Every structure is written in C-alpha cells, then in structure tokens.
C-alpha cells in the first residue's frame, strides 16, 4: 500500500522547503563561502538499486511530468520508491566555483513522490 501521490504544486512547495532547510543547516555548519543548489532530480529505486542514473531526469515541476513518471514506474517490479532529491555545493568564493574548486553535496534533501510500504 502506498500513500496518495502529492500534486506537482505540492511537490514544488515541499522541494523548496526541504532545500531551504538543507541550506540553512549547511550555513550553520559552514561559516561563509558560496552555496549553490544542485537542482531537483527524480530518483526511482527498485530492488535496492537506482533505476535512473544520478542527473538523468530533472524534476521540471509540471503535473504532466509527474503523471508520466508515476505511470511509467508505479508498477515496476521491486519498486521501493520514487522521490525528488537535491543537494547543495559549497566553495570559498565564486571564482573557485567557476574553476571547479568546490565541495559537492555538502548537504542533501529528498521529497517522496511514491513510497511502497
């Protein structure tokens, strides 16, 4: 049994709140510097493995995309969950970011779309 699937509008709000909480946590732990979002990505987990590669499916926030993703994967054998994930990168300054000198994934967040119980 799974919980009802949230609307795309609700997921956008949940993603924003989760990102802001993760960002605030990172700023409490790391004083100063530049923080950058890693974006919002859909992750599908089945049989303990990711079906979609990291960065393969960006969450665009539309109801159409959400409906298509759920329809495509909801009956996948071994499905454990479908969720949206993101994270935060950090660097001392903006120049370092552009030169590739940054710390990826200093924090992360996730919002459930569908979780099989």
pLDDT reported for residue 2: 59
Q: What is the pLDDT of residues 66-86, one digit of tens each?
A: 999 999 999 999 999 999 999
pLDDT reported for residue 3: 75
pLDDT reported for residue 77: 95
Q: What is the DSSP string of the chain?
A: -BPPPPPHHHHHHHHHHHHHHHHHHHHHHS-SSEEEE---EEEEEETTEESSPTTSSB----HHHHHHHHHHHTT-TTEEEEEEEEEEEEESSHHHHHTT--EEEEEEEEEEEEEB-
pTM score above 0.95: no
Q: Which residues of the chain have pLDDT under 70?
A: 1-2
pLDDT reported for residue 53: 80
pLDDT reported for residue 116: 87
């Amino acid at each position: 049994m799974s919980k009802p699937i949230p609307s795309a509008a609700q997921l956008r709000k949940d993603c924003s709140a989760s990102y802001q909480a993760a960002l605030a946590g990172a700023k409490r732990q790391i004083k100063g510097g530049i923080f950058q979002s890693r974006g919002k990505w859909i992750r599908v987990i089945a049989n303990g493995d990711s079906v979609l590669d990291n960065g393969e499916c960006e969450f665009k926030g539309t109801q159409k995309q959400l409906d298509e993703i759920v329809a495509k994967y909801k009956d996948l054998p071994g499905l454990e969950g479908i969720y949206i994930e993101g994270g935060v990168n950090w660097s001392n300054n903006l120049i370092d970011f552009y030169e590739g000198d940054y710390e990826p994934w200093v924090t992360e967040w996730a919002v459930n779309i569908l979780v099989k119980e």
